[in-house]
Structure 1
Amino acid sequence: MGSFLYPPPHQQVPLTQVLTSTISLSHSLTLISPQPQPMLLPPLPTTINIGSYFSYLMKCDTYRAWKSQFLDVLAIHDIQHVIVGDACPPTPFLSNDTTNPAHSHWLRTERLVLTWIKSTVSPSIVQNLLLPCTTAVEAWIILDHHLNPLSGVHLRSTHDRLRNLRKATTQSMTYYLIDAKSVFDSLSAVGFPIPESDFVEYIVDGLSPEYQGFITTLYLRPSTTFDELFDLLVQEERLQ
């Protein structure tokens, strides 16, 4: 039967030294073990003023062009997710109850986009539609609801503009007719045209009382196109 061989007494390592070495090794392994890496978030766009991307401020009749350009700008900065898709911000806190840096980053990005929206539309749109908005998503939805040519609200508003045409005394006839034609064309462009005869009647109804004699003569004609009415009214203005 074999026996265990022990090192001679002068070669034996004291127990305290073994324990100290073990603790030291454990501490060293802890120090070199991989640590959790902080969450890497994309930097916010450095371009605060994006006016250089737009040649003019958006008005009611230029919404579609503005929307297309604005989406391009968001795509350039890779932040279109703020207003398209689900647009759902990250949770404010992580599972360990610490503040979620992604949530804070989302809020700053979202507020930057809201600033971009308000700075690229006309002051009247900001005043009438966007003043109460506190988020980019809210502003985006309101603009689309009121200014998208295909929305029911916009179509009704455009029809109301035609029915309520009025030539101001300080307004030239040419300007009055061109403005009316732009409203008429906007309905045709989105697939909701109105008969030209109705359009002509809206224009005539918006004339001031000094054109009453002209209107009476006009109604003696069997029909009048817009182009014919344009020439007749511009000539009549010169006779006033």
Structure 2
Amino acid sequence: MADNQKLHPAVTVNNIRNFIPLTLELKDGKYESWSELFQIHCRPFAVIDHIIPSTDSSSSTTSSDTNTVKDANWDRLDAIVLQWIYGTISAELLGIVHVSGFSAQEAWECLNNVFHDNRHTRAIHLTHKFTNTRLDDFPDVSAYFQELKNIADQLSNVGPKVEDDVGHRFE
């Protein structure tokens, strides 16, 4: 092994599902939760800049040999982060965001666009679904309230907050 080369912490992750236990689905409205969990995971493993570029412009001039090693390490880590993304999304989303040659950042931005580009339409649909959810469609009150909570969570991910008749927010 080359002297002074340390194993990057991201390389030690054997199973991303141990850290991000939910699978992002197109229809479940959990994008914000998934995104937050993913970012939290990336920070201690020092790869957050693979999905959210650093605004730090202080780059030092180095020799071409050092740049080649850095590029190889960057590419390797980027592939690991891309594997994490692909390993935590549904097959349906994978079909949408998987493009040969995509970087982790490009896949991340594509997912963001999938969930945020149609916000207004999703908000209208979810508001309609929330308003038309009826108790008699569920086996008990607990299941009914759980469904209302799920729809309210999805609505909060697209913007508008759901309020009851007396102004209490479902968040």
Shared fold, TM over 0.5: yes
Counterpart among 57, 82, 85 of residue 23 in structure 2: 57
Q: Which runs of 5+ in 1 are unaligned?
A: 1-37, 89-93, 198-240
Aligned to 1:135: 103
Query: 2: CA distance between counterparts of 1:99 and 1:191?
Result: 43
Q: How does 1:83-122 map to 2 (within 5 A)?
A: 83-86=51-54, 100-122=68-90
Query: 2: CA distance between counterparts of 1:154 and 1:191?
Result: 8
CA contact (8 A) 1:48 1:112 kept: no
Q: Which has the higher contact order (CA 8 A, sep 6+)?
A: 2
Aligned to 1:155: 120
Q: Which runs of 5+ in 2 are unaligned?
A: 57-61, 166-171
- Superposed CA deviations along residues 10-41 of structure 1, whole A, max 9, x for unmatched, are xxxxxxxxxxxxxxxxxxxxxxxxxxxx9966
CA contact (8 A) 2:22 2:34 kept: no
After superposition, the Cα gap between the structure-2 partners of 1:179 and 1:139, relative to the gap in structure 1 and judged at 3 Å, is: farther
Counterpart among 164, 174, 193 of residue 138 in structure 2: 174
User: CA RMSD of the aligned region, Å?
Assistant: 3.9
How many percent identity over aligned positions?
19
- Superposed CA deviations along residues 32-61 of structure 1, whole A, max 9, x for unmatched, are xxxxxx996653422142111133212342
Aligned to 1:47: 13
Query: 2: CA distance between counterparts of 1:195 and 1:77?
Result: 39
The number of residues matched between the two structures is: 146
Secondary structure of 2:22's aligned partner: coil
Larger of the two Rg values belongs to structure: 1
